[in-house]
Chains A and B, each alone.
Chain A
Amino acid sequence: MESLTLAWPLAQQAFDPSNLPLVTGSPIDGHFSKAMLLVILVGAVAYWCLQRGVVRSKPLAIAGASLFGLACVMAFSAIPKPTTFPEDNSFSDYLEPVVKMCFCLLAAGGGLGFIVAREPVHAALGFATCVLSTCGILFMQHAYFIAAATMIVYAGATIIIFLFVLMFAQQTKLRIYDVELTRPAVAAFIATALLITITYSVSDEGEILPTKMDLTRSRSLAAIADNPESELPPVSQPGMRKEESAKFVPSKTSGLGRAMYTDYLLAIELAGTVLLVATIGAIALAQKPEEGVS
């Protein structure tokens, strides 16, 4: 009860719309991180209730789900929204954070279902929801190639996992290792501490300046700067303010390919080698052992 009376003014302060920064407005103050801290704590309690209630009692599970919904509403109300509805073509600017937040909440819900569900098939479905929503967020971050690649790799992986689950765990009865969790309270505590640390370290108000790629190497992106197709970040002059320099969004697949095959050629080759070694290793591991070999 005491903690509730302590937390209530904090929540009021955090969710007062007049305190929230506007879209076009000032830099972020501490309200956002405070709201996020509250969301994290409520989410942790929701996880604890859900993982207990799914097995033990239905009301506890319902309470956990509603707590998760509360956390979603709190997170949703914490994002800044413009106070006036835009008349002109800036409607997408208005809609973008809302859609992004919806993807975030969907992914979090899928992840929560994934770690709470006792049926392996339900857990795999939650994982698929989580990963596909994350791909949606990547699309909205203009990382189109990686979003597509992630979707293909993870969707393929998820289908394989589905096959494995159906092969290994196709039982009418639930197994004990699916029902029983090892110390969920301790795990939830560790994850909450980690998240609080991340939130505090991320909610720094300092501005991160755009950094150029390494321009000293001869074959890097700087060497092809004359090429009109090349994707170079804008060179920010010392006297220029941030708003004046055009904002560069790394969205083009061609630019990503150039960066991969000029600046990171060795790393890409090594990644290919690792893939080859992993393929050989997987084939060697999955072979049936010969008779008499223990």
Chain B
Amino acid sequence: MTHFDSQNLLIFGGVLFAIGLIGFLTRRSMILMFLSLETMLSGVSLNLIVFSRIHQNYQGQVLAIMVLTIAACEAAIALAFVVSLYRRKPTLDVLAWDELSETIMPKMPDALSEMSEPHEQFPTLTPAGLDPLSHPMPPSLDAAMNQQNSTTPANATEVVQRA
């Protein structure tokens, strides 16, 4: 009888855990995900207490108290996180914080090809002036530039001497 009863309750603890698991996997609201976690923890502590009764000592109950403590800590931290996240973006949607995760695989195959071959758009300029290959500089201009280059150092020394 007791064995049967314990079996029953162990399976029920599993049911509670599974309900919490489904809730955590499917729900998108952050508060409800956190409540699902609490459901999972209560299933675990129920299992611990049933094991304490099977083994006929208090070890399981002490462990259940530990679980309760950790659940309380987790509640405090999770609610603080929810508050500070809500301050950044006024939504409880967990998908709003999607970019916090590492992007391992892009969701679309198109996005993959775009990532491997980026189509960059460079700015196009209107052509100005003459192409120096098709229109070489006239020799007169070349001579004038050579004279400019030779006189520039002399001017520079003059400036230094004046100073």
Interface size on B, residues (CB 8 A): 74
Q: Does A65 contact B (CB under 8 A)?
A: no
A127-B39, A182-B28, A194-B18 are known contacts. Are A138 and B57 too (CB-CB below 8 A)? no
Quick one: which of A104-152 are within 8 Å of B by CB?
104, 107-108, 111-112, 114-115, 120, 123-124, 127, 130-131, 134, 137-138, 141-143, 145-146, 149-150
Contact between chains at B56 and A177 (CB < 8 Å)? no
Residues of B with C-beta under 8 A to A168: 31, 82, 86, 92
- Mask for A218-261, Cβ within 8 A of B = 1, else 0? 00000000000001011000000000000111100001101110
Question: In the docked arrangement, what's the CA distance between A289 and B59, Å?
Answer: 44
Contact between chains at B32 and A120 (CB < 8 Å)? yes
What are 25 A-B pairs with beta-carbon distances under 8 A?
A32-B8, A80-B1, A107-B12, A107-B16, A111-B23, A130-B16, A131-B39, A146-B61, A146-B68, A153-B71, A160-B75, A168-B86, A169-B92, A181-B27, A182-B27, A194-B21, A207-B3, A255-B58, A259-B58, A259-B61, A272-B69, A275-B72, A281-B80, A286-B84, A288-B87
- Interface residues of A, Cβ cutoff 8 Å to B: 21, 23-24, 27-28, 32, 36, 40, 43, 47, 51, 79-80, 97, 100-101, 104, 107-108, 111-112, 114-115, 120, 123-124, 127, 130-131, 134, 137-138, 141-143, 145-146, 149-150, 153-154, 157, 160-161, 164-165, 168-169, 175-178, 180-184, 186-188, 190-192, 194-195, 198-199, 202-203, 207-208, 210-213, 231, 233-234, 247-250, 255-256, 258-260, 263-264, 267-268, 271-272, 274-275, 277-279, 281-283, 285-286, 288-289
